[in-house]
Structure 1
Amino acid sequence: MTDSPRPAAPALGSGAPTVSVVVPTRDRPELLARAVAAILGQEYEGTVECLVVFDRSEPVPVPAPTGPGRTLRLLRNDRAPGLAGARNTGILAAGGELVAFCDDDDEWLPGKLAAQARLLAEYPDTPLVSTGIVVAHDGRDFPRLAPDRPLERADFLRDRIMEVHPSTVLARRAVVLERIGLVDEEIPGGYGEDYEFLLRAADAGPVRAVHQPLVRVLWHARSFFSDRWPMIISALRYLVAKHPDFRADPIGIARIEAQLAFAYAGLGDRHASRRWARQAFRHNPREQRVYAALLAGSGLVRADTLVRLAHRAGRGI
């Protein structure tokens, strides 16, 4: 599709919309303090409230530089345990016109919030805006620029588009509540809850992004699910059952099938892994995860070794 002509970018000024930033957390106080400081330190002319949602733990004080137009609220997640329930706790408690997400181990970079708010104001039809990211892993940074075109549902069916990371999300709260819906708390293990949310967001209108990488995303051992293969398999099956239009897109379904093949290889079920790999290959022989799954299923290389190698290059499987 082509964009309609852009209106002049509005100045935010004193009328800048209020923003509520939801930060789920559990047992990472040092990283949390850094994340909150970066949020409240944004040069943004509107009011910013940071809602830290403690998941399965009691709230504890967070050292953070509050001041005029900057507030910090501590909440407890009493919904489903995990990121989905914690995000929803924050969304429902938020008082801002706009709502944003940030994981407790990530960091907003200078200019992030103001650039996104301007983009959201430019395009009233867009339900959600993102930014590029910097993946930080093992002492290295990998900048990932966000797509500079509108993203529709078909784009997300075909590709997770990792640059549209949950820590980059900014949306109108009313649109989340009335058109997108809350984060799905039923996904097994909470795996892919952010991706499923994006699929529904794209139903509400084209998703747009600030091209520049304005969020630093920390990848570390607790970021990954490589030792939880049965949960990953259940979550992928759940995703396709909830969004059956995956099956109408050969590229999209091949990606999911190849991920299933890789997960079964990680589980040690070579028969199921080969079966899913064959299906993925029939749908899209160019799907690279097929070959990763076949390699892992051969027993020559462990699945978790391939995951680590991908992460060293700033990629996922």
Structure 2
Amino acid sequence: MISIVVPTRNRAYTLRKVLPSYFVQDGVDEVLLVDDAGDDETADIAAAIAENFPNVALRIVRHDQRRGAAASRQDGAAAAAGEFVLFCDDEYLEPGYAAECLRLLLEHGAGAVSGRRVYMLAGETRAHALHRFGNGMRRGKPFDYALCENVNGAVFEGVVSLPITNSNILTRRSYVERFGFDPHYAGGNGYREESDFQMSLFLSGHPILASNDAHSVHLPMGEVRTGGQRVHAARKFFWSVRYNAYFLEKHYGRYARKVGLRQPLWLAKLHALFYLAWRNFFRPPLYAIVMSARFGLRT
């Protein structure tokens, strides 16, 4: 019924830790890894783990040349056998994640559903991270409409409807075939590639939901060895600004009318520019200081 699709490149270290949590998800029939021209031992590690779960098929789709996360998601969905596709970004999935997302998708006729993303700190266990996070850690609304950004740590209970959520979404394979992942986001850090697909769903009248009853757990940043989050801050800022401008030019007019925004496109881009500068250069050290002071743990 559900196919888990994981776009990956040279992340064998991470997959060794998180992949078992995919095979134990209720309702999952297969796990597809889309290896984007990597050169590490991903295939061998995945095969060794899959041997412990004979009731769930492992399939590996390989790109001979690097094509980026958007193309990897698209190719994984095209190869999937399930009616529903759960995209995962090399993170641990809490037991019941897939089942909860599927329940909400069917009950609400949603376009895509995610759980909450929790970032582990160095020295934490998953249980400690989930307990620390609770229903969120920041007071305020779970979505910043002016920036078109999901506020990951916002406090809320139950289920909320948002224009976009995080990247660990369950959706229908038919929606991927219809709306697709835009290959424009192939270089750099791929910022907005998953948001682009979700925004297309949202603007077409398909709700995007996030649930407090399911969680994905991201490894501490010190253990993330490859991927967009390891790009140098200056390069990450450059690509984020570039891709955000493309994203806004593509969607902003319809989005602003749908949610009632009055700021013009140029102001939305300027607002985002300052926000991305803050997020890339200033927020990380301040966040590290706050987490160390509150919990005695490093990011």
Using the size of structure 2 for normalisation, the TM-score is 0.71
Amino acid at match of 2:283: L
Structure 2 counterpart of 1:71: 57
Structure 2 counterpart of 1:185: 183
Amino acid at match of 2:243: A
Structure 1 counterpart of 2:284: 307
Structure 2 counterpart of 1:207: 208
1:55 maps to 2:55:
no
Say if 1:133 and 1:212, in contact at 8 Å, map to a contact too: no
Amino acid at match of 1:126: A
Structure 2 counterpart of 1:36: 19
1:198 maps to 2:198:
yes
The match for 1:143 among 130, 133, 149 is 133
Matching of residues 122-161 of structure 1 within 5 Å: 122-123=107-108, 125-139=109-123, 141=129, 143=133, 145=135, 158-161=147-150
Structure 1 counterpart of 2:241: 233
- Per-residue CA deviation, residues 256-314 of structure 1 (Å, 9 max, x unaligned), is 42331355xx6xxxxxxxxxxxxxxxxxxxxxxxxx59xxxxxxxxx624333236658
Distance in 1, Cα, partners of 2:246 & 2:288: 25
Distance in 1, Cα, partners of 2:214 & 2:288: 18
Distance in 2, Cα, partners of 1:206 & 1:239: 19
Shift of 1:157: 6.2
1:260 maps to 2:273:
yes
Distance in 1, Cα, partners of 2:134 & 2:31: 26
The match for 2:94 among 102, 105, 109 is 109
Amino acid at match of 2:209: R
Structure 1 counterpart SS, 2:19: helix
Amino acid at match of 2:49: A
Shift of 1:145: 4.0
Say if 1:97 and 1:173, in contact at 8 Å, map to a contact too: yes
Structure 1, unpaired ranges of 5+: 1-17, 147-153, 267-291, 294-302
Say if 1:51 and 1:74, in contact at 8 Å, map to a contact too: yes
Structure 2 counterpart SS, 1:64: helix
Change (3 A) 1:193 1:22: same
- Per-residue CA deviation, residues 134-180 of structure 1 (Å, 9 max, x unaligned), is 1223345352748xxxxxxx97665421542212x0011112212xx
Amino acid at match of 1:96: G
Structure 2 counterpart SS, 1:76: strand
Say if 1:130 and 1:209, in contact at 8 Å, map to a contact too: yes
Amino acid at match of 2:103: R
- Per-residue CA deviation, residues 9-52 of structure 1 (Å, 9 max, x unaligned), is xxxxxxxxx1111111122212112222100012x1x3420001
1:90 maps to 2:76:
yes
Distance in 2, Cα, partners of 1:91 & 1:74: 12
Structure 1 counterpart SS, 2:110: coil
Amino acid at match of 1:133: R
Shift of 1:111: 1.4
Say if 1:91 and 1:99, in contact at 8 Å, map to a contact too: yes
Distance in 1, Cα, partners of 2:11 & 2:78: 23
Change (3 A) 1:47 1:134: closer
Amino acid at match of 2:107: E
Amino acid at match of 1:310: Y
Structure 2 counterpart of 1:279: none
Query: Which of the pair has the greater relative contact order for Cα pairs under 8 Å at 6+ separation?
Result: 2
RMSD: 3.1
Structure 1 counterpart of 2:174: 174
1:242 maps to 2:250:
yes
- Per-residue CA deviation, residues 171-225 of structure 1 (Å, 9 max, x unaligned), is 11112212xx221110353222112222112123111232234211235265255
Structure 2, unpaired ranges of 5+: 137-142, 153-164, 292-299
- Per-residue CA deviation, residues 55-103 of structure 1 (Å, 9 max, x unaligned), is 1225622121454531111111357622112111211111111001111
Structure 1 counterpart SS, 2:10: coil
Task: Give the share of equivalent positions with the same residue, in percent.
Answer: 26
Instruction: Find the structure with the greater CA-based Rg.
Output: 1
Change (3 A) 1:37 1:186: same
Distance in 1, Cα, partners of 2:177 & 2:112: 13
Amino acid at match of 2:115: T
Say if 2:115 and 2:211, in contact at 8 Å, map to a contact too: yes
Distance in 2, Cα, partners of 1:107 & 1:48: 18
Shift of 1:251: 6.6
